[in-house]
Structure 1
Amino acid sequence: MSLGDLALGTSFVKKIRSWREVFKKDSTELKEIQKEKLRKMLSHASENSPFYKSFSIPLDQDPFKTLKNFPILPKQTLKERVDEFLTTDQTKGLTSITSSGSTGAPSKVYFNSEELSSNRALQIIWWEWAGYKFGNSVLQTGVNMKRSAEKKLKDYLLNTRYIDAVSHDENQIKEELELLLEHPRQHFVGYASSIFLFAKVANKYNIKGVKFDSIISIGEKLLPNFRKEIDTAFQSPIYDTYGASEGFLIASQCRKGTYHIMSPHLVLEILDEQGNEVKPGEMGRVVLTGLDNFTLPLIRYEIGDLAVKASDQTCSCGLQLPVLGEIVGRITEFIKTPRGKYITVQTVVRLMKKFEEIDQYKVIQHSESELEIELVSGIKLDSRYEEKISSEYERVLEEKLNIKFTQVPKISKAKTGKFQLIESRLN
């Protein structure tokens, strides 16, 4: 890996060693690291970013108090005014990363080589929590098949075979599974829905013997039915991760299954509709402040997710990092009823589990009283079956809804390659 840094002008090796030392520290030391990094970030942004400089926010001795005086930043503002966030006059030599756009229009952020190396090193730390060691073989699914010279070198150095996550069909997956039987890979990294499809094909065709030292889910929510299918197919440890494509590595599961927040890398706030921190056990909006990207600071950036604040901040795995309760998902991944209730993805999953003939489904909300459910099934579903589903929805939601059913050969993914279980088309 040192040769890779030399060839690319990066500092990956130095960064991963640094992160390893950070995560050995106790909770008090980790809080102090976060506090000092926040102090530096708020000072740097206030002095060098035109956007934040315009607010003239006084810096309190306690950076957490200062933070509360910064406005919450919507994604649209970043998209429209990205140049005002930059702390440098030119973007030459910087790396730009564009978000998936899964909660609206995509936004762009910039990193210098040091910042990018730090993020990539932190991602490998997550792999290490799942048992990865340098030299281990990896199968990874993703959406960016146009691999740059840098990414090709990274794949080579990390012994990674990178395959397309967008165009999976049964025959392609069967070929990959057969290849894995002949040439096993130690770790499987990919979108939750992509790994889920591999598992479905393995179970459908009774392909046994494909196992991994670990399976690492990235990029989207690992739904309960996804995890169950994957566990049945591969009987391998599953580790879920939680990040945002603007460069935030938010939380990852340890060997105990607990989501640990990367507090030396960011400040995570979970806020109610009035902007106040929710109580333990309550759900709120995810708002992030990055502590490592000084090129383009993002302070109190709302990513469009909901999460539950943990009731218990301890974990027996040994890590002293704070704990995240539950990742609920995108704000768009909800059904809003005429009475103003929000029905979560988890509720839909539990409801649809009752209908075993349905292989896949997607719920599209066109208005507060009108839903469309796309269904994939090996049998023709008649109107009586549709009436059963409608009745179950109305029983659970306790409201009358107009539900239209469309049976399709397969559920289409978003342009990002992600599987969206609920698609809200409400204004």
Structure 2
Amino acid sequence: MLNKIYSVSPVFIQNMMLSMYGYYWKNRRFSGCFKNKLEKFRVHDNYSESEWHNYQTLELRKLLIHAFTTVPFYEKLYKKNGFELSDFEKFELEDLKKLPFLEKDELRKYGTSQLLSAKKEKGKFYFSSGSSGTPTSIYLSRKFHQTWSALYEVRVRNWSGVHYKMPRAMIGGRKVLSNSKTKKPFYRYNKAESQAYFSAYHISESTATDYVKGLFDSQSKYLVGYAMSIYLLAKSILKLELKTPKLKAVLTSSEKLTYKMRETIEEAFKCKVFDAYSGVEACGLISENNKGELLFSMDSGIMEVIDSKGKYVNNGEMGEVIATGFLNYDQPLIRYRIGDQVKIAKEQNNAMLKIDEIEGRVEDVIIGRNGQQMVRFHSVFINIPYLVMSQVIQLSLEEIIVKLVVEKSFDTNNEKLIKQRITSQLGGLSIIFEYVLEIERTKNGKFKAVISNLRNE
């Protein structure tokens, strides 16, 4: 109901509604235990390698005991694999590889039931279409959001020279503008958090001037958002030779940041780019410090990196991320196959684990008839019942294919909703739905959620 009211309201009413929503989130994130956690994470910044080892060992034992005694899924799984409670009381980090993986499909099936702790705090589910195309439901409490916000403040904002009280701009997946035909301004203002929220779905050369004007008008000190969306805006800024406000930093996330993308963004905004990686599951954080090093926050969890045979890779090698999160006791994710890859740095000269490259996934860009570019389809497939996996393929400016892997209860109403969401962002174009048993991977075994057969940079 609120979404319908928002979509038909004038801009000033939308700004008011967004500000009220912002006040809710400001209170949820930055009250309670936030300041206490903030100080603890800052202390951890100075931990030695041995201190990190001891810290992670104790945290892992606490997590496993909690999971075994309060989470039905893990109690059943670990007993089946021969583990008892006493095993976890003396568990070591090197023992972690003995535990079975948590597959993404298991999280999808049991995330709202058997994977929840009997002692969970009051919270709610947050849905993700997932970069792997598999939708998941993540349960997060108020305390978790305060803890994660403190970690993000220390390891992302502070490392890049900014803080949460500064005015900021955001380019994200939330649909703050009604549809593809919406006219400028291409952002809405959240006064409660001094945040200008720009649409990720309206970036083009014809709108770039208005995006830059919005940055000036909002007096934003830094820019946060999807790497590809910021890159597309930066390309238009350079092509049109637009003058941008003096920002302190650009913080990218959610997609692979290539060297070319970083170079283009830094040239357009005249400041340094800081990259980060986490995901809605929030069971690990990799972020960039002021030396340009990508470091894994070892108080966010444990990150194992394995090869195709399940063996740990050596320093300097690329492998699949297996994540164990320390911060969410309500829905613990232990040895979770998150679906992304990283390359561990060959030279480990920091107490925290150093990463050379976050592989993630480089998705193609879908282009609408009106020239609008769309790379993130999170808002299209989020919270669609009985959807297992999805893929979008663009054949031409007039036609796209949507491949779906679904359960039996999926019906035409769900298909209509997907079509409505796509056309609201890309305008009128032909959408062909294909129902398949599985979606084909690339030659190297990777899944691509978005594929374009058009030639575009």
* 1:235 is the counterpart of 2:270: yes
**CA deviation string 1:13-72 (max 9, x = no partner):** 222222222223323222221211111001111111111101222425233244222111
CA distance in 2, matches of 1:204, 1:135: 33
1:314 to 337, 341, 349: 349
* 1:416 is the counterpart of 2:387: no
Aligned in 2, Cα 1:143/1:183: closer, same or farther, shift over 3 Å? closer
1:135 to 135, 144, 165: 165
2:180 aligns to what?
Answer: none
1:180 aligns to what?
Answer: 215
Aligned in 2, Cα 1:327/1:68: closer, same or farther, shift over 3 Å? same
1:265 aligns to what?
Answer: 300
**Equivalent residue letter for 2:52:** L
CA drift of 1:251 comes to: 0.4
Structural mapping, 1:65-214, within 5 Å: 65-82=94-111, 83-88=113-118, 93-125=122-154, 126-145=156-175, 156=191, 158-181=193-216, 184-214=219-249
**Equivalent residue letter for 1:272:** D
2:358 aligns to what?
Answer: 327
**CA deviation string 1:65-93 (max 9, x = no partner):** 442221111101110112111112778x3
1:220 aligns to what?
Answer: 255
1:26 aligns to what?
Answer: 48
CA drift of 1:261 comes to: 0.3
Aligned in 2, Cα 1:222/1:321: closer, same or farther, shift over 3 Å? same
CA distance in 2, matches of 1:277, 1:212: 40
Normalised by the length of structure 1, the TM-score is 0.72
Normalised by the length of structure 2, the TM-score is 0.68
Aligned in 2, Cα 1:422/1:212: closer, same or farther, shift over 3 Å? farther
CA distance in 2, matches of 1:95, 1:159: 26
CA distance in 1, matches of 2:223, 2:159: 14
CA distance in 1, matches of 2:32, 2:190: 15
Identity of aligned residues (%): 26
Tell me the secondary structure at the aligned position of residue 138 of structure 2. strand
CA drift of 1:209 comes to: 4.0
**CA deviation string 1:325-368 (max 9, x = no partner):** 211224xx5xxxxxxxxxxx8xxxxxxxxxxxxxxx65xxxxxx
**CA deviation string 1:108-154 (max 9, x = no partner):** 1112221221112111221111001353221111122479xxxxxx9
**CA deviation string 1:257-294 (max 9, x = no partner):** 11010111110000011111011111111110001111
2:430 aligns to what?
Answer: none
Tell me the secondary structure at the aligned position of residue 45 of structure 1. helix
1:304 to 335, 339, 353: 339
**Equivalent residue letter for 1:98:** F
2:91 aligns to what?
Answer: 62
CA distance in 2, matches of 1:124, 1:65: 30
The alignment yields a C-alpha RMSD, in angstroms, of: 3.3
Contact 2:277–2:287 (CA<8 Å) still a contact in 1? yes
CA distance in 1, matches of 2:262, 2:28: 40
**CA deviation string 1:291-339 (max 9, x = no partner):** 1111111100011111112211115xxxx32211211224xx5xxxxxx
Contact 1:145–1:163 (CA<8 Å) still a contact in 2? no
CA distance in 1, matches of 2:197, 2:217: 17
Aligned in 2, Cα 1:23/1:89: closer, same or farther, shift over 3 Å? closer
CA drift of 1:411 comes to: 4.8
Aligned in 2, Cα 1:135/1:116: closer, same or farther, shift over 3 Å? closer
CA distance in 2, matches of 1:7, 1:183: 22
Tell me the secondary structure at the aligned position of residue 42 of structure 1. helix
